[in-house]
Amino acid sequence: MATEILMPALSPTMEEGTLAKWLVKEGDTVSAGDILAEIETDKATMEFEAVDEGIVGKILIDAGTEGVKVNTPIAVLLEEGESADDIATSAPATEAAPAAEAADKAAPAGGSAKAAAPAAPAPDTSPDWPEGTQMKTQTVREALRDAMAEEMRNHDEVFVMGEEVAEYQGAYKITQGLLDEFGARRVIDTPITEHGFAGIGVGAAFGGLRPIVEFMTFNFAMQAIDHILNSAAKTLYMSGGQMGCPIVFRGPNGAAARVGAQHSQCYAAWYAQIPGLKVVMPYSAADAKGLLKQAIRDPNPVVFLENEILYGRSFEVPVLDDFTIPFGKAKIWREGTDVTIVSFGIGMTYALDAAERLAEDGISAEVIDLRTIRPMDTDAILASVMKTNRLITVEEGYPQGSVGNYITSVVMERAFDYLDAPVINLAGKDVPMPYAANLEKLALVTTDEVVEAARKVTYR
């Protein structure tokens, strides 16, 4: 049967081109792979090969013709025994690209599924553990170690890898004792090679293990961020649900003290942007433990942001054989009526201190700890704002494109009419972290700033 040769699309964006030159003439026999013509696009001249064998029966578009639309028949290929006269009756090209059409159809429906009327917030306010549970005092450091040890005891496929996690017992002693209990097969010292071991960790998760990859700090994870985003977060989607990546990337994040610009940055907002990732940033020891256990069990890649200054702080932790904190459930640390203060991680220190001071002046602040940035418990924020009508967000990261900016947009969309004052986003200053003690203090968010912001939004 005679087949039409169509003007090819030679790049993702090509719509038309110039048929610069024919390299065959009518009557020539061609086989697959032979170059038929040269096609010029706005970017380049390309050769166009035959896909089938046959005889060039008729050339429909002359060499030198400009503006030939993609999919226009440019020649007819005949099989042996056919003549060019058969051509006139052959059907015109009917297989014009359906892709573009379909894309148009998709546009209106695909857009904003969220644009519908906002649902009333219904936050989960259930207690994290049963009332009356025995508690003990523990540091965040110990809580994190216990979380890993408990999960490793129960699941052989859980292992921890990173720099100095084994023999050195952890650069910040989070993995203390794990090598002794679990051995070198499951507690693995890596060379200093973040890009490489993050990739190996992701590959191991593809292979059915559940790695905990410790970064000595999240600043160093910048070398590995391609694997966290492109290899870990996107694979489930790109594989149509076939290939998941259960992995935890954890380590200290944000400013420590006097370590300068390259070691002092909060990555919460960075990772919170990425679909496919879950992002956790605990404040208390109980949350650190319950959330890390949850992270290790989660079938998705989890970025678990710790804080060096909080490692040594002590909190009450429930004495339970097994407990986890679900993702996407904020914790109300302090109930209040005048202003909502939303924070996470070390920001909670300033939020809680400020609330204490505000209470002395008769301002009742409600303090919410997000605990997980993604998924985010926006319902808890909205329910609180609908009560207090004022909102302050507190974080250590940079101000532009901050977590607070996102919260503000959610509140604008879903609770605009409830606001009695503009939302204030408190963040780290818009500067690289200085070394000098006085300047570093100035660069970080402070309790004073939270108090001042609360007075501003309550007009007191």
Catalytic machinery residues: 194, 263
Is the peptide bond preceding residue 375 cis, with omega within 30 degrees of 0? yes
Residue 131 · residue 276 · CB < 8 Å: no
Q: What residues are paired with 394 via a beta bridge?
A: 343, 426
Q: Does 42 bind other proteins (CB under 8 A)?
A: no
Count of residues of this chain found to bind other proteins when the rule CB under 8 A is applied? 75
Hey, what's the torsion of the CAs at 148, 309, 126, 387, to 10 degrees? Answer: -160
From 144-152, 226-234, 334-342, 420-428, span contacting other proteins (CB under 8 A): 226-234
Q: 231, 284, 402, 425: which one contacts other proteins (CB under 8 A)?
A: 231
Residues 6+ apart with CB under 8 A from 27: 55, 56
Q: How far apart are CA 229 and CA 239, in angstroms?
A: 15
Q: How far is the CB of 58 from other proteins (least distance, A)?
A: 19
From 29-37, 59-67, 137-145, 248-256, span contacting other proteins (CB under 8 A): 29-37
From 83-91, 240-248, 364-372, 387-395, span contacting other proteins (CB under 8 A): 240-248
Binding mask of the shown chain, residues 67 to 96, with x at each position contacting other proteins by CB under 8 A: ---xx-----------------------xx
Candidates 158, 175, 162, 125; CA nearest to 293 is 158
Q: Does 119 bind other proteins (CB under 8 A)?
A: no
Q: 17, 54, 246, 404: which one contacts other proteins (CB under 8 A)?
A: 246
Written as six digits, the tokens of 300 are 């998705």
Q: Could you give the angle at which helices 403-415 and 378-388 cross, rounded to 10 degrees?
A: 60
Q: Does 300 bind other proteins (CB under 8 A)?
A: yes
Q: Does 425 bind other proteins (CB under 8 A)?
A: no
Q: Does 422 bind other proteins (CB under 8 A)?
A: no
> Other CB atoms closer than 10 Å to residue 447's CB: what's the count?
17
Q: How far is the CB of 241 from other proteins (least distance, A)?
A: 4
Considering only residues 247 to 286 of the shown chain, the ones binding other proteins according to CB under 8 A are 275-276, 278
Residue 213 · residue 247 · CB < 8 Å: yes
Q: 175, 217, 235, 343: which one contacts other proteins (CB under 8 A)?
A: 235
- Cα 268 from chain centre: 10
Q: How far apart are CA 399 and CA 377, in angstroms?
A: 21
Q: 29, 44, 63, 436: which one contacts other proteins (CB under 8 A)?
A: 44
Q: How far is the CB of 298 from other proteins (least distance, A)?
A: 9
The three-state secondary structure class of 196 is helix
Binding mask of the shown chain, residues 178 to 217, with x at each position contacting other proteins by CB under 8 A: -------x----xx-x-xxxxxxxxxxxxxxxx-------
Considering only residues 50 to 69 of the shown chain, the ones binding other proteins according to CB under 8 A are 51
Hey, what's the torsion of the CAs at 21, 24, 26, 31, to 10 degrees? Answer: -140
From 106-114, 126-134, 388-396, 427-435, span contacting other proteins (CB under 8 A): 106-114
Considering only residues 306 to 365 of the shown chain, the ones binding other proteins according to CB under 8 A are none
Burial of 257 (0-12, 13-18, 19+ CB in 10 A): exposed
> Please, which residue, 127 or 191, has the CB nearer to other proteins?
191
Q: 226, 316, 361, 413: which one contacts other proteins (CB under 8 A)?
A: 226
